[in-house]
A and B are shown apart, each in its own frame.
Chain A
């Protein structure tokens, strides 16, 4: 099933209009010996067969629609109101490009402006951008922004060990050519924020922490910003925006940059993407922020409208002086999150966060009472918590899946040697009491 409409007659008429004998004439500038290579791809399928092929692949997956899911670790199973997907499939949103022509792109532009406004509301920050590829790349862009802010005068970055391991990995990948020194990650995973602040010195550009952290805990960040700012450095908070429906906003804790993964705002798990990086900062730092930004203006009749703005920061203007190359971002995902937040509203988002709170604590309370299991939590947690298990996590998960049709938690031993046999469990509003009770019952058999 190819989608071009040409009939043989139309093709020939068009070639005649061009003055070309045949299609190959149009490709004569390609070296002849390399032209028209044999491709070893499977033959074409009709639409019906294409879909059947994909259904077969989809059937080979276990997924949250078939099993109770207690796995989070950066990707969360939340309920999405049906209107979100229906609205983002409007062809005028789905099939538009980046809004370079504002007169015919006001829908996209106003939606991005509303998204930026909601990110500011959640984080408490002054300004936000259109989006990044995901939370991990948003953190990497925060580090690059720190580097730009100090114009190379400070080269040290302090990363909390409880930032998402993938996000820390992406920071290393992105900055490998910039000659930075990245410290803090090998501290124990239960390190308290003040101990991280001890690493901040006059050469440090920024300290980045997670809120809640990768282990699900809500660290006490009070006073941290003062210590970081006393050294002249920036505080970056990587937050779960759904948690911000309930928690004190990072701006109130003195953050200079707030970024994170927006998948929890109504985006499907989709095996890891497309997700949604969000990014917010202080107004005084806006010209160092990467990414597309929409601003309000007016047309020639004085009517309110929106445009892409601050383009002089970007690659198509600055070229080799640009510190980020981002252009295409996650526009449709930001639209989905905007519709999600509009639908839930201020009370609905808090309700979701509170349901996560109550259900995860209910689960932790019961699991902590099982012989052999122990809940490890020095601090309050919202939807994820650490459980020390009596046997290897892989063994626990195999039992849960193959005996009880439950997808268990994340094996923390992969990232933290000190947390061998420790599992990160996630409970959201989608997990019913019956599912939690089943999980507890299954674990009790492993005690």
Chain B
């Protein structure tokens, strides 16, 4: 046992914080309203601090280790953004205050809408979606609503490449659409002939990730978009891989109709061990009326002498709201601070160096690790974590062994179209020395795979725990440490 459960540290009568005495005459509670037991722990403050500090020490994070998790853009999360989000004027404003009294929040959101629209090449942006997957649902619901609004009711199919994130097909299913999978060609692109054969008046559109999950820029992207548009379909862009192309190309210029941005990837907001994220969507002119509401609008009738004034408005054909209130505002503040600090040249530089770092690793590793699609990559690349002359060693073993060398594992077993995939994304914020150390580790591991394979299969050796039994977890299903207290 690494650290006891907080419940095991509980002792009757302890409490971690005191509350003010009641300063008003009490009102008796009616009978039958209150519960008789509540099974929460009773712990003093120092014990709470030590418990959660010790738990934190069992984690790897970007602040402690290089975290080359493909598709997740684990770049440095600037601390100034944390300070910004905690400014009292932003952190203590209530979402339902009169808009007149929260002009600062609305101005920030308006600027971010405008900036993201500019970065993506879109006519409108909603900041409401709480994560990338929710941005996807937002986009797909808008595409569906657009066709229905035109009376185009026979469109029920969504085309999705076989390299796509699982969220893409799941999203289409949530929207009540049928998924049709498109194969990839030998260079890792969408198979253009297969796509064209499926483009007809039954498709809602195409969901595409560009650069795709192989880290490759779609070489025929304009033809792909044209084929979908020619049959009346719309193109959805999964922006998970936007960190490769900010300032280099705008998805809107490529003809995309919708794109979600992952503020917790491209725009440096921390992942927090599983959120909160933020997944704003940008749309082309024909979809702006369908955006989820409300959006922040600038009120125009004040003349140039007045400062700009902002209000909340819902577009006329809006698909509705995606969550309560206006979005993950605290995450928006961090992204605003990031864009403001970087400026246009900084943002472009981030993408350039993210791509430089990835290609540097690719060049330094390609003689040892097989690259199924061997061409210039964008912000990440995928290798096969397996060798014919080292039977029994798998991608998972390599991933776990990296921990012993002081690195978080890359994404593994995704994308599904690569055998024993290891997906490596260094991001722009790693130094050359760190990259070189990472290369040395991966090359040493390749050697170990051939000379001491057991070392890999038993890895990690230096982590707080050895490999965990995931099958037992799913079979016995212990999800809660307390028997439920019903009374």
Contact = CB atoms under 8 A, between A and B. Distances in A.
Chains A and B belong together in one complex: yes
Interface string A146-177: 00000000000000000010110110111011
A362 interface: yes
Interface stretch (A14-22, A188-196, A202-210, A228-236): A14-22
B472 A90 contact: no
Interface string A59-86: 1111111100101011101010101011
A144 to B, nearest CB: 7
Contacts, number: 729
A361 B470 CA distance: 51
A316 B91 contact: no
Interface in B263-283: 264, 268, 270-277
**Most chain-B CB neighbours within 10 Å: which of A79, A292, A329?**
A329
A203 B463 CA distance: 53
Contact of B359 (A26, A133, A316, A341): A26
Nearest to A352: B19
B329 A125 contact: no
Given A103-B464, A170-B321, A347-B42, A295 B403 contact: no
Interface string B349-382: 1101101110110111000000000001000000
Nearest to A283: B477
A325 B96 contact: no
A135 B57 contact: no
A62 B343 contact: no
Contact of B329 (A47, A270, A293): A270
Nearest to B103: A60
A350 B274 contact: no
Given A297-B473, A324-B170, A355-B22, A103 B466 contact: yes
Contact of A275 (B270, B324, B432): B324
A368 interface: no
Contacts of A127: 479-480
Contacts of A121: 38-40, 482, 484-485
B93 A269 contact: yes
A34 B253 contact: yes
B479 A293 contact: yes
A296 to B, nearest CB: 4
Contact of B254 (A34, A73, A167): A34
A224 to B, nearest CB: 15
Contact of B480 (A126, A271, A358): A126
Contact of B473 (A296, A316, A432): A296
Interface stretch (B130-138, B226-234, B383-391, B445-453): B130-138
A197 interface: no
Contacts of B160: 320
A4 B429 contact: yes
Most chain B beta-carbon contacts within 10 A, residue among A248, A261, A272, A297 = A272
Interface in B315-353: 319-331, 333, 336-337, 339-350, 352-353
A388 B313 CA distance: 28
What is the interface of chain B mostly: helix, strand, loop, or mixed? Answer: loop
A2 B342 contact: yes
Contacts of A419: none
Q: From B346, B357, B480, name the one whose CB has the most chain A CB atoms within 10 angstroms.
A: B480
Nearest to A222: B32
A54 B255 CA distance: 34
Contacts of B274: 97-99, 108, 112, 130-131, 292, 328-332
Interface string A250-293: 01100000000100000011111111000000010010000011
Contacts of B75: 3
Given A114-B6, A272-B327, A436 B321 contact: no
B323 A273 contact: yes
Interface in B33-81: 33-35, 38-43, 45, 48-49, 51-64, 67, 69, 72, 74-78, 80
A7 to B, nearest CB: 9
A107 B172 CA distance: 34
A319 B166 contact: yes
Contact of A87 (B53, B144, B326): B53
Contacts of A54: 84, 87, 90, 108, 333, 336-337, 340
A177 B35 contact: no
A278 to B, nearest CB: 13
Contact of A2 (B276, B277, B292, B350): B350
B360 A17 contact: yes
Interface string B166-184: 1101111111110100000
A346 interface: yes
Interface in B427-445: 428-432
Nearest to A348: B15
Contacts of A244: 35
Contacts of A103: 400, 403, 460, 463-468
Interface in A33-61: 34-47, 50-51, 53-61
A110 B472 CA distance: 17
Contacts of A104: 58-60, 403, 408-409, 460, 463-464
B250 A144 contact: no
Contacts of A43: 343-344
Interface in B113-170: 115, 118-119, 121, 130-134, 136-137, 141, 144-145, 160, 165-167, 169-170
B176 A177 contact: yes
B322 A94 contact: no
A273 B38 contact: no
B324 A167 contact: yes
B270 A45 contact: no
Contacts of B247: 36-37, 39
Contacts of A94: 61, 63, 77, 82, 270, 272-273
B329 A348 contact: no
A38 B33 CA distance: 63
Listed residue (A45, A114, A300, A410) with the most chain B CB atoms within 10 angstroms of its CB: A114
Nearest to B253: A34
A271 B16 contact: no
A137 B56 CA distance: 29
A225 interface: no
B248 to A, nearest CB: 5
B356 A11 contact: yes
A97 B89 contact: no
Given A103-B466, A321-B173, A429-B20, A44 B345 contact: yes
Contacts of A46: 341
B245 interface: yes
B97 A6 contact: no
B356 A15 contact: yes
B273 A98 contact: yes
Interface string B240-260: 000001011110011000000
Contacts of B58: 92, 104-107, 110
B465 A305 contact: yes
Contacts of B98: 394, 397-398, 401
Nearest to B364: A17
9 contacts: A58-B87, A117-B5, A122-B38, A134-B325, A273-B329, A321-B173, A325-B171, A344-B17, A359-B24
Given A92-B64, A113-B480, A343-B48, 10 more contacts: A28-B376, A74-B325, A96-B273, A101-B408, A104-B460, A110-B2, A270-B329, A311-B474, A320-B170, A339-B48
